[in-house]
Chains A and B, each alone.
Chain A
Amino acid sequence: GAVVSQHPSRVICKSGTSVKIECRSLDFQATTMFWYRQFPKQSLMLMATSNEGSKATYEQGVEKDKFLINHASLTLSTLTVTSAHPEDSSFYICSARDVLGVETQYFGPGTRLLVL
């Protein structure tokens, strides 16, 4: 089946630094990728929708200047958490929709971010 990878799987950083998370579709092309955030014991919340070659669409309450999304190719989207703070510590999960329009999304394994 389709595979989505994320890198890194875990990251610890100091407050004020920026962290980049990569999301790759390994065996299919994804015109659309999605970024979710999950706080402990909570559900996944959609942060933004990333479209290849265009600007991302952010959900209400998500700061676009803080969470920079780049979808430069059909197989790669990146999420950069700029000037990270402890409250940004969370589990970030990406998903990708097959360009062929298969009616599903494939989820990556997630990235645990801890900001000290």
Chain B
Amino acid sequence: AQKVTQAQTEISVVEKEDVTLDCVYETRDTTYYLFWYKQPPSGELVFLIRRNSFDEQNEISGRYSWNFQKSTSSFNFTITASQVVDSAVYFCALWNTGNQFYFGTGTSLTVIP
């Protein structure tokens, strides 16, 4: 069975603080892909990153960084020096070799000025 768990429902941080959004997944597949999407109030999903199961290298893109740990089945997302514009709902998702995306329940991030 495939499952994505985002245990943090809502997080509030003060601007310029760092924040980590947790994502834990379950799958029996050896080949799979993990994603993070940002969903601002407009609703459109904004693609942030895709990582395949064979690539455990951590990635940094500007203020964003991702930590992929297969040993703990986690794919955590860190925003450094958070800004008000980072306020949104963030979804972690798993895509296996079939067709279906499995989304987590999302983490609503509020960055307070």
Chain A residues in the interface with B (C-beta under 8 A): 32, 34, 38, 41-44, 46, 49, 91, 93, 95, 97, 103-105, 107, 109-110, 112
Contact of B101 with A by CB under 8 A: yes
The complex places the Cα of A4 from the Cα of B37 at a distance, in Å, of: 16
When C-beta atoms are compared, the residue in chain B nearest to A38 turns out to be: B43
Question: Are A112 and B43 also in contact (CB < 8 A) when A104-B50, A104-B95, A105-B95 are?
Answer: yes
List, in ascending order, chain A residues with CB within 8 A of B65's CB.
none
User: Taking the nearest CB of chain A, how far is it from the CB of B107, in angstroms?
Assistant: 11
User: Taking the nearest CB of chain B, how far is it from the CB of A38, in angstroms?
Assistant: 8
The complex places the Cα of A32 from the Cα of B101 at a distance, in Å, of: 13
Which of A43, A91, A112 touches B91 (beta carbons < 8 Å)?
A: A43
> Number of A-B pairs whose CB atoms are under 8 Å?
45
Contact of B61 with A by CB under 8 A: no
A43 B103 Cβ-Cβ under 8 A: yes
* Interface residue SS majority, chain A: strand
A110 B43 Cβ-Cβ under 8 A: yes
Which of A38, A42, A103 touches B33 (beta carbons < 8 Å)?
A: A103
B45 A34 Cβ-Cβ under 8 A: no
- Per-position 1/0 for B93-109, Cβ under 8 A of A: 00100011101111010
B: contact size bracket: 20 to 34
User: Taking the nearest CB of chain B, how far is it from the CB of A35, in angstroms?
Assistant: 12
The complex places the Cα of A109 from the Cα of B104 at a distance, in Å, of: 19
User: Taking the nearest CB of chain A, how far is it from the CB of B35, in angstroms?
Assistant: 8
When C-beta atoms are compared, the residue in chain A nearest to B37 turns out to be: A107
A43 B104 Cβ-Cβ under 8 A: yes
B44 A34 Cβ-Cβ under 8 A: no
When C-beta atoms are compared, the residue in chain B nearest to A93 turns out to be: B45
Which of A43, A104, A107 touches B105 (beta carbons < 8 Å)?
A: A43
List, in ascending order, chain A residues with CB within 8 A of B104's CB.
43
User: Taking the nearest CB of chain B, how far is it from the CB of A56, in angstroms?
Assistant: 12
Q: Which of A38, A91, A97 has the most CB of B within 10 A?
A: A38
Q: Which of A46, A105, A109 has the most CB of B within 10 A?
A: A105
Contact of B76 with A by CB under 8 A: no
List, in ascending order, chain A residues with CB within 8 A of B44's CB.
107, 109-110
